Chain A
Amino acid sequence: DAGITQSPRHKVTETGTPVTLRCHQTENHRYMYWYRQDPGHGLRLIHYSYGVKDTDKGEVSDGYSVSRSKTEDFLLTLESATSSQTSVYFCAISVHKGQGNTGELFFGEGSRLTVL
């Protein structure tokens, strides 16, 4: 158990509204990630963080922003949700093994977001 909690687990919202998903970890891992999962696309990286206030974009970052003000929390924000952002969102941490980021990812349980 990597101690990852995502909230909310389910959310239905309307187009144009802001949405924030929260990822909380209890083990002080440096690297945190947000992925979205869609049929036929597998898991695609949205943003990731390598420390407090240190974040970078992934392959599908348009329309998303992130913040990490504390080691344990990594927030994903959809400023103005669109129907194309209906998806299952997974937070993950990487257990750092040494030089480079070579550890495996451990995932949260996922947050299902529906944008009507």
Chain B
Amino acid sequence: AQKVTQAQTEISVVEKEDVTLDCVYETRDTTYYLFWYKQPPSGELVFLIRRNSFDEQNEISGRYSWNFQKSTSSFNFTITASQVVDSAVYFCALNDNFNKFYFGSGTKLNVKP
């Protein structure tokens, strides 16, 4: 069965601190896709990144970086020099190359000034 676990329910940091959000997934498929979404307090869901199972290269986009490790079934998300605007709920998701997307329960990030 497919499963995504985000063990960190809520994280609080002070602005400019680095923070890592953990995501662990389970799947028996060899081809799959991993995603991160952001849900700011306004409620919309914003796509951040997609990564396929054959591409383990880390990715950096500005202050955001993602570390994909198949050996540990993890797809962690790091925000460098956090800002108040990063405060949101972040969701990790798995697509098993069929029709379904599975989401973790989310991590709420509070960035304090």
Binding site for B on A (CB under 8 A): 31, 33, 35, 40-45, 48, 50, 56, 58, 88, 90, 92, 94, 100-107, 109-110
Contacts and interface: CB of A to CB of B under 8 A. Distances in A.
B95 A102 contact: yes
Interface residues of B, number: 25
B103 A101 contact: no
Contacts, number: 59
B103 A109 contact: no
A33 B101 contact: yes
A4 to B, nearest CB: 11
Contact of A41 (B44, B101, B105): B105
| Most chain A CB neighbours (cut-off 10 Å) among B35, B91, B101, B102 | B101
23 contacts: A33-B101, A35-B103, A41-B105, A42-B91, A42-B104, A44-B103, A45-B101, A48-B99, A90-B45, A92-B45, A100-B31, A100-B97, A100-B98, A101-B95, A102-B50, A104-B35, A104-B47, A104-B50, A105-B37, A105-B47, A106-B47, A109-B44, A110-B44
A90 B99 CA distance: 17
A56 B101 CA distance: 13
Contacts of B95: 101-102
A25 B25 CA distance: 30
A101 to B, nearest CB: 5
